[in-house]
Amino acid sequence: MKQLHHPDRKDIQLASVLYALSDPIRLYVASEIRKHGAQACNSFKVPIAKSTLTHHARTLREAGVIHTRVQGTQRILSLRTEDLDERFPGLLDSVLQAYERSEPGEGFGDSAEEQEE
């Protein structure tokens, strides 16, 4: 089985983290992991193909934002909060809090009806 690359804490670069968090799908994935804990890739409700979600997960992993653990046929994603807080204190919280406070309808998992309830 192919080994997944995760950068060491000391190798996580600010520009890579900011780039990874600059996409709405990747922000949504990071936010969902923060709210609900580690999740399998197939648990995210996004309007994209599985292969595209895999690309986004890879971008987050290679930037050092998430850790991917293989469990059977699933990939379990978790945030590398401790590593990111050590490298860039408060960055992840700031970005995700701003995203979560953004306008309704910017998320991908909720329909407009669910958000109004």
Give the DSSP letter string of 69-98. EEETTEEEEEE-HHHHHHHSTTHHHHHHHH
Report the predicted TM-score, pTM, of the whole model to 2 decimal places: 0.85
For residue 109, pLDDT beyond 90: no
Q: What is the pLDDT of residues 76-91, one digit of tens each?
A: 999 999 999 999 999 9
- State how far Cα 79 lies from the chain centre: 7
Cβ contact 10:44 at 8 Å = no
Percent over 90 (pLDDT), the chain: 73
The pLDDT assigned to 106 comes to 53
Higher pLDDT, 94 or 110: 94
For residue 41, pLDDT beyond 70: yes
Q: Stretch 65-71: mean pLDDT, rounded?
A: 94
pLDDT confidence band for 52 (50 / 70 / 90): very high
